[in-house]
């Protein structure tokens, strides 16, 4: 039977498989993958149809698809009867004005966007001076962290010089004007490789500018580096090695936005841009002790970025504070005026105006999930819940939906990724990826070829049910609180498209950063960002990794 299956796979799935007809024995072997059992007569009847389908596949593969082409089907995360909540569309950042330039460049490198913005706007420091500090730190520490793929030094110095000239002439573009940042190396930037973290694409040059990079350039931000992504947006291992956690250099940074989180935590950039499909912003933000915002699906354009899953990919900021996340998000969200090609993007209002405490919010929390974790991490989570209460939070107990077939949802990501990387697998270039074990992206892409279209669509039907159930639950609250490792919350919210933010809560007994996650309503990131800001303002110790923060 194994030999039959192997023969069937070779016939159907390799490049140039136009010769050889599908026979009954191949169908009998293949049907077991899908848990089906057809009679001899039924197999005889379908054989001609399967060969006709195969002819269609062969015909399709004679054409080429540009990476920018997305399917004609578009995911809509909105439940039945959904209406965007009415909120204001202005924010109060309340930046410090009397701030002074610190004596230490190291201290300067770890300042927030608000602090740096105040210094630049008030001409106490130039963008060029700040940019050179970050470029120097990248050169000093990247061999240790492996968080940067490409230093965009020439571009950065040009952008910084332009920012200084504009500010000197009274032209101020806003809080990101002159602020150095890094972008995950899934985003195209002309003149620099866009490697997707993977061996087959090390020398890939894409002559377009990703929309989020264009938007930040228009805001006057300065791009200093393209930051590491786990190979094809999986994990923290890329073709250059494993990106490290600045708190523990024996540990990886976790999640495919590893470089974004690691570089931000180590003070190599003022902020960064990451992506998430299934935890790749929240997970490395937790590991590296920074604040990561995964916005609603469709909040930020993905144009010019590698696709992993059309219906799941999201773009968001990783910063050193919740307010910084809000500042960046307010600028990159929504449709742009530069030829938007991501049809999932929608415009909706956003405001960031934190109240004095949390008493005005209606907050749900998953008490059972917090109580179930009796580890040191769990105790920190319970302590965090108590801290939220001390800020006026009236926490109401909730439970996440349980009567849903969660194990099936993984096929959504895998099927869509398999389609995007079709040519990679058919040409066996997946064998060039450094990781080839059972948990590797290479293996995931190969097995994706055995997900039936019918089951992919069935999974999306159950996804619709999950959307309705979870939306009904969370719509009664301004946001909900879950433990970082709480059961299914990552899977649920990445399936439903709801926003979430990971905020640091302290350190465990091994000195590793801990966190908690707030989940907001669809297209309404404001309340959870405001709450995260109040929490950080009250309890953050502003501690940074010792090795990278020595003066």
User: Could you please report the per-residue DSSP string of 216-233?
Assistant: HHHTT-EEEEEEP--TTS
Contact 230, 147 (CB under 8 A): no
- 466 torsion bin: left (phi>0), alpha (psi -120 to 50), beta (else): alpha
Residue 205 and residue 67: Cα distance in Å, rounded? 13
Report residue 50 CA to chain centroid gap: 38
Read off the DSSP letter of residue 168: H
Grouping H, G, I as helix, E, B as strand and the rest as coil, residue 206 is coil
254 catalytic per annotation: no
Angle between helices 127-145 and 113-121 (to 10 degrees): 150
Pick the closest to residue 516 from 388, 396, 354, 393 (CA basis): 388
**What pLDDT tens digit does each residue of the chain (551 aa) get?**
344 444 344 444 443 334 578 889 888 888 888 788 889 998 898 888 888 888 888 888 888 888 888 898 889 999 999 999 888 888 888 888 889 999 999 999 999 999 999 999 999 999 999 999 999 999 999 999 999 999 999 999 999 999 999 999 999 999 999 999 999 999 999 999 999 999 999 999 999 999 999 999 999 999 999 999 999 999 999 999 999 999 999 999 999 999 999 999 999 999 999 999 999 999 999 999 999 999 999 999 999 999 999 999 999 999 999 999 999 999 999 987 666 789 899 999 999 999 999 999 999 999 999 888 777 777 888 889 999 999 999 999 999 999 999 999 999 999 999 999 999 999 999 999 989 998 899 999 998 988 999 999 999 999 999 999 999 999 999 999 999 987 899 999 999 999 999 999 988 888 899 999 999 999 999 999 999 999 999 987 668 999 999 87
| Domain boundary assignment for the chain | 105-342+354-403+460-548
Read off the DSSP letter of residue 267: T
Read off the DSSP letter of residue 436: -
440 catalytic per annotation: no
Residue 244 and residue 266: Cα distance in Å, rounded? 10
184 catalytic per annotation: yes
Q: What pLDDT, on the 0 to 100 scale, is given for residue 339?
A: 65
Which of these is catalytic: 184, 226, 333, 469?
Answer: 184
Q: Are strands 244-245 and 222-227 parallel, antiparallel or unpaired?
A: unpaired
Q: What pLDDT, on the 0 to 100 scale, is given for residue 13?
A: 42
Q: What is the pLDDT of residues 368-398, one digit of tens each?
A: 998 887 777 778 888 899 999 999 999 999 9
> How far is the first Cα of the chain from the last one, in angstroms, to the nearest whole number?
65
Residue 109 and residue 392: Cα distance in Å, rounded? 33
Contact 188, 232 (CB under 8 A): no
Pick the closest to residue 488 from 384, 366, 326, 349 (CA basis): 366
Contact 536, 291 (CB under 8 A): yes
Report residue 406 CA to chain centroid gap: 21
Superfamily of domain 105-342+354-403+460-548: Amidase signature (AS) domain (3.90.1300.10)
Alpha helices, DSSP H only, in 297-421?
Answer: 322-332, 367-372, 376-390, 410-420
Contact 453, 399 (CB under 8 A): no
Which of these is catalytic: 117, 254, 260, 280?
Answer: 280
């Amino acid at each position: 039977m194994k030999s039959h299956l192997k023969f069937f796979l070779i016939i159907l799935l390799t490049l140039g498989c136009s010769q050889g007809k599908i026979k009954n024995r191949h169908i009998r072997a293949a049907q077991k993958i899908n848990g089906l059992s057809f009679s001899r007569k039924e197999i005889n009847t379908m054989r001609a149809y399967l060969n006709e389908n195969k002819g269609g596949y062969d015909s399709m593969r004679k054409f080429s698809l540009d990476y920018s082409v997305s399917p004609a089907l578009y995911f809509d995360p909105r439940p039945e009867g959904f209406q965007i909540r009415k909120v204001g569309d202005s924010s109060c950042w309340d930046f410090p004005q009397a701030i002074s330039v610190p004596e230490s460049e190291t201290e300067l490198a770890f300042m927030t966007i608000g602090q740096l913005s105040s210094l630049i706007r008030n001409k106490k420091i130039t963008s060029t001076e700040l940019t050179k500090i970050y470029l120097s730190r990248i050169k000093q520490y990247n061999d240790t962290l492996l968080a940067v793929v490409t230093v965009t030094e020439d571009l950065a110095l040009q952008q910084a010089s332009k920012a200084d000239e504009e500010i000197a002439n009274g032209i101020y573009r806003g809080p990101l004007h002159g602020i150095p940042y890094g972008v995950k190396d899934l985003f195209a930037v002309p003149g620099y490789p866009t490697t997707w973290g993977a061996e087959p694409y090390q020398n890939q040059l894409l002559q377009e500018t990703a929309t989020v990079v264009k938007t930040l350039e228009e805001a006057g931000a300065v791009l200093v580096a393209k930051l590491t992504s786990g190979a094809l947006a999986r994990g923290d291992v890329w073709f250059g090695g494993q990106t490290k956690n600045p708190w523990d250099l024996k540990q990886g940074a976790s999640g495919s936005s590893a470089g974004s989180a690691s570089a931000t935590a180590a003070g190599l950039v003022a902020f960064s841009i990451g992506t998430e499909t299934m935890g790749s912003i929240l997970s490395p933000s937790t590991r590296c002790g920074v604040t990561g915002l995964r916005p609603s699906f469709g909040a930020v354009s993905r144009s010019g970025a590698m696709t992993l899953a059309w219906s799941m990919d999201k773009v968001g900021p990783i910063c050193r504070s919740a307010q910084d996340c809000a500042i960046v998000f307010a600028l990159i969200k929504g449709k742009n005026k530069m030829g938007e090609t991501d049809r999932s993007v929608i415009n909706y209002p956003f405001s960031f105006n934190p109240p004095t405490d949390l008493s005005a919010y209606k907050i749900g929390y998953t008490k059972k999930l917090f109580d179930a974790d009796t580890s040191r991490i769990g105790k920190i989570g319970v302590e965090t819940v108590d801290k939220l209460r001390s800020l006026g939070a009236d926490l109401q107990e909730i439970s996440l939906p349980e009567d849903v077939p969660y194990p099936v949802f993984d096929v959504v990501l895998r099927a869509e990724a398999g389609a995007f990387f079709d040519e990679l697998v058919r040409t066996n270039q997946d064998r060039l990826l450094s990781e080839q074990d059972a948990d590797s992206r290479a293996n995931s892409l190969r097995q994706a070829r055995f997900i039936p279209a019918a089951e992919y669509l069935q999974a999306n039907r159950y996804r619709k049910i999950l959307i309705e159930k979870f939306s009904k639950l969370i719509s009664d609250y301004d946001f909900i609180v879950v433990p970082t490792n709480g059961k299914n919350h990552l899977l649920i919210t990445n399936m439903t498209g709801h926003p979430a933010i990971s905020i640091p809560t302290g350190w465990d007994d091994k000195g590793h950063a801990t966190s908690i996650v707030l989940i907001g309503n669809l297209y309404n990131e404001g309340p959870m960002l405001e709450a995260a800001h109040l929490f950080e303002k009250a309890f953050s110790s502003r501690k940074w990794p010792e090795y990278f923060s020595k003066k």
